Structure 1
Amino acid sequence: MWLAYPIKEQIRITDMYSFFEVHFDEGYEFPGEAHNFWECVYIIEGDACVSGNERVYNLTHGSIIFHKPLELHKFIVTGQGGADFLIFSFSAEGPMMPSLEEKVFELSDSQRSIIASMLSFIHARAERMPTPPTGYCSYLEPFQTLPTYSQMLALYLQQLMLSLIEAGEVSSVSSAPDAVIFRRAIRYLNDNIHRQPSVPEIARYSNVSEASIKRLFDKYAGIGIHKYLLKLKMKAAAELLQNGESVSGVAERLGFNSQSYFSRAFKRETGLMPSGLKGNPP
């Protein structure tokens, strides 16, 4: 008698939003953003300073970072000659996805081979697609015309992520003085997320001037302190809503003047209504 061994799917990519290779010159700054799906940045060549929420990393070729949904992320190209990136964003589900949160991996030779095989597969098919007038060719265009393309791409990515979880090495966060101060300031914001701490208060806690703390948020987050705090509140709100908290309760816990104002802010920042998120992942 044959026994059936069920496949326990640990990671499954459900949607892709972007997938492209790009070169940026030294000094290029990608402005901070946050969205309700995952984003991955892989350094093909060069060096970059990458931030994800309060964490700051100095990455080089072969490094890959995963930004979880609603994580504010930004990068600055620091290497001479610029840097080449592979960037893709996606939605995924499965019990192993949290293992990719707040981590940077240094790829092994076998993991780089997965990416090389994936790019070879993509290039052979994407080059068949007409290049638009802008000169930008999205690697997602074949989704519309090649029936097997999307699943093959998902399989490559799932293989890569499972391999990283199983054997990848994690990079340490930057110990640069500015990065340490930035993390300290973010911890203070998280500890006081129920209210609206002022810029002078945050600067005093971080032992720097108001001008310095504003500069650090611009450097590592690409947005002002109050905007960053709002995004932290939205992230906390999403987690509370997922855990069954009422919309009115979340608004009160996070220091919003009214439920309606909270709902408008949540919709503006996440693209979702808080009532639609209750009990569901962002």
Structure 2
Amino acid sequence: MVWQAYPIKEQIQITDMYSLFEAHYEKGYAFPGESHNFWECLYVMDGEVCVSGNERVYNLSQGAIVFHKPLELHKFIVNGREGAGLLIFSFSAQGPLTSYLAEKVFVLSAAQQGIIASMLSFLHEKAQEWDIQALSGKSAHFFLEPFHTLPTYSQMLATFLQQLMLSLAETEAVSSVSSAPDAIIFSKAISYLNSNVQAQPQVPEIARYCNVSQSSIKRIFDKYAGMGIHKYLLKLKIKAAAELLQSGESVSLVAERLGFNNQGYFSRAFKRETGFAPSVFMAKRH
């Protein structure tokens, strides 16, 4: 008998984990804005949060999950009256499914929430077994410690997460974009910055474009981005630089196109944001 081989076309593979924790945050807690060169996912176990990702602002409640792609600027604010319980994990991944998950919000079904519940049950069991304690003074549990000493642990964890992500391939994303006036202004301002990332737009110019005062636009950026406009623009430039370098453009040309007068300053800024020098980042694309 001749057996037919059916190749497995792997859709997603988690290659590295950077963080995984569950925590309860009180109402009004604001996580500072950040970006990094790996994925981050936020799942709302209970309560309500306002999440920003690049120019989008979402209002999320229990059962919602959002994916932030590498170098995406993101922040969250807790809105729920009783605070919010969150599961947050960050990772590197490869495979065609990653492009589908990017910048998406999903509301998990009972079965998908069951995958997370099973994963947390496994993690808590191992946490007790390995005596992993919550960080002193914080209501949070961190679960990556056994990676160094228990090889099967990391693969089990990756399997749970990959199962969840594969199930999302057949789930329609939802629109949870906030309609709050400040959120709309923030989105408009970020769109303007993205359209002018090769220039150096100043605060008065952005405020005029959004038809608000300079103090208002600064307040809105602090609220949704957790940083000033100039710092945010620099991060957008680094994100654009990464895309240009991946397309094969030279370091000097990228620096010039994005308005960096000094290539040395560009290289230092790029490494600070991505963890890699531009030349090393280019080599990694191969």
TM-score bracket relative to the smaller structure: over 0.9
Which segment is superposed worse, 129-138 or 79-88?
129-138
- From 190, 209, 213, the equivalent of 1:205 is 209
> Is 1:252 matched with 2:256?
yes
Aligned to 1:142: 146
Gap runs ≥5 in structure 1: none
Aligned to 1:278: 282
2: CA distance between counterparts of 1:252 and 1:242?
16
Aligned residue type for 1:245: E
2: CA distance between counterparts of 1:62 and 1:280?
36
2: CA distance between counterparts of 1:220 and 1:114?
31
Aligned to 1:188: 192
Alignment of 1:154-233 (within 5 A): 154-233=158-237
Deviation at 1:281, TM superposition (A): 5.2
What is the SS of the residue equivalent to 2:41? strand
Aligned to 2:30: 29
2: CA distance between counterparts of 1:149 and 1:100?
25
CA contact (8 A) 1:11 1:93 kept: yes
1: CA distance between counterparts of 2:222 and 2:285?
29
Aligned residue type for 2:96: P
Aligned to 2:247: 243
Residues 29-80 of structure 1, C-alpha deviations (whole Å, 9 max, x = no match): 0000000000000000000000001100000000001110001100000000
2: CA distance between counterparts of 1:169 and 1:102?
10
Aligned residue type for 2:82: G
2: CA distance between counterparts of 1:132 and 1:97?
32
Deviation at 1:96, TM superposition (A): 1.3
CA contact (8 A) 1:244 1:279 kept: no
Distance 1:109 1:218, change over 3 A: same
Deviation at 1:134, TM superposition (A): 3.8
- From 259, 266, 276, the equivalent of 1:262 is 266
Residues 179-220 of structure 1, C-alpha deviations (whole Å, 9 max, x = no match): 111011001101111111110000000000000000010000
Aligned to 1:41: 42
Aligned to 2:87: 86
Aligned length: 282
Aligned to 1:52: 53
What is the SS of the residue equivalent to 1:47? strand
Which segment is superposed worse, 162-171 or 5-14?
162-171
CA contact (8 A) 2:23 2:141 kept: no
Distance 1:133 1:176, change over 3 A: closer
Taking only aligned residues, the RMSD between alpha carbons, in angstroms, comes to 1.5
2: CA distance between counterparts of 1:116 and 1:171?
25
2: CA distance between counterparts of 1:133 and 1:194?
45
CA contact (8 A) 2:44 2:85 kept: yes
CA contact (8 A) 1:50 1:58 kept: yes
Identity %: 69
Alignment of 1:76-155 (within 5 A): 76-131=77-132, 134-135=135-136, 137-155=141-159
Gap runs ≥5 in structure 2: none
Query: Normalising by structure 2, what TM-score?
Result: 0.95
Deviation at 1:121, TM superposition (A): 1.2
Aligned residue type for 2:57: V
Deviation at 1:137, TM superposition (A): 4.7
> Is 1:18 matched with 2:22?
no
Distance 1:161 1:252, change over 3 A: same
Aligned residue type for 1:167: T
2: CA distance between counterparts of 1:216 and 1:225?
10
2: CA distance between counterparts of 1:211 and 1:165?
43
2: CA distance between counterparts of 1:109 and 1:171?
19
2: CA distance between counterparts of 1:230 and 1:133?
35
2: CA distance between counterparts of 1:12 and 1:140?
18
